[in-house]
Structure 1
């Protein structure tokens, strides 16, 4: 069940962002927020997946509108965009975002999120070494699936 208070907060932030940018507030743009924030917090979705999900729910929206809206959501801090290896861009909601890193299986393509305090220690040590305040980082680990009978592995016929 989607957190309606969270969705309303995201819409208010987006509305203020659009006003500052001088951009139009269209129902289609706000419907993208509805659908992105209805996903589980740890789910990543691409434009095509979001397009199909919205079409199946009866929305009349183009892929271009979804692309453009997601770009605006990233710029406004309401979405995070990830580009994993050979995958298309994936998006996740950012309002409740807690920094995490990712593991991507080379075979089954499953994306898993993880956090490890040792990574922050390394980030702080590198900041000291380079005399820099590290503001962000991205870590993606790629591995091969060893899960027996993994339901995500592609079948070869």
Structure 2
């Protein structure tokens, strides 16, 4: 169940961003926030999945509007865009985003999120090595699913 206060906060941030950019505040754009933020917090979705979800929920919206709106949401910090290996771009909500890294299975394509404090130690050490203030990082681990009878494995 989506947290209505988070969705309303996201909409307010988006509205202010659109006003500053001189962009139109259309109901379709705000409906993308409704659907993206209705997903479980750790879920990643592509444009096609979001399009089908929105159509199934009665919205009349084009893929182009979804693409453009997601780009705007990434620009204003309300969505995070990921490009995993050979996959299409995937998005996740960012308002309550806590940094995490990803494991992607080469076989079943399942995406799992994880956090490990040791990565922050490496980041700090590399910052010292490079005399830099490292402000962000991205780590994606790829592996082969070892889950017996994994329901996500593609049919052959």
Tell me, what secondary structure is at the counterpart of 1:141? Answer: strand
| Structure 1 Cα separation of the partners of residues 99 and 86 of structure 2 | 23
Q: CA deviation at 1:155?
A: 1.4
Structure 1 segments unaligned to the other structure (5+ residues): none
Where does 1:67-106 land on structure 2 (aligned, <5 Å)?
67-106=67-106
| Aligned residues between the structures | 156
The alignment partner of 1:92 has SS state of strand
Q: Per-residue deviation at 1:148?
A: 0.2
In structure 2, how many angstroms separate the alpha carbons of the residues matched to 1:146 and 1:3? 35
Residue number in structure 2 paired with 1:37: 37
1:117 aligns with 2:151: no
Cα separation, 2, equivalents of 1:154 and 1:90: 19
* Regions of 4+ moved over 6 Å: none
CA RMSD of aligned residues (A): 0.4
How many angstroms apart in 2 are the aligned matches of 1:80 and 1:140? 14
Q: Normalising to structure 1: TM-score of the pair?
A: 0.99
Provide the rounded CA distance (Å) in 1 between the counterparts of 2:45 and 2:93. 10
User: What per-residue deviation string (whole Å, max 9, x for no partner) do you get for residues 84-131 of structure 1?
Assistant: 000000000000000000000000000000000000000000001101
Query: Partners of 1:128 and 1:24 in 2: how far apart?
Result: 45
1:54 maps to 54
Gaps of 5+ in 2: none
TM-score normalised per structure 2: 0.99
Q: Distance in 2 between matches of 1:98 and 1:72?
A: 20
Q: Say which SS state the counterpart of residue 30 (structure 2) adopts.
A: helix
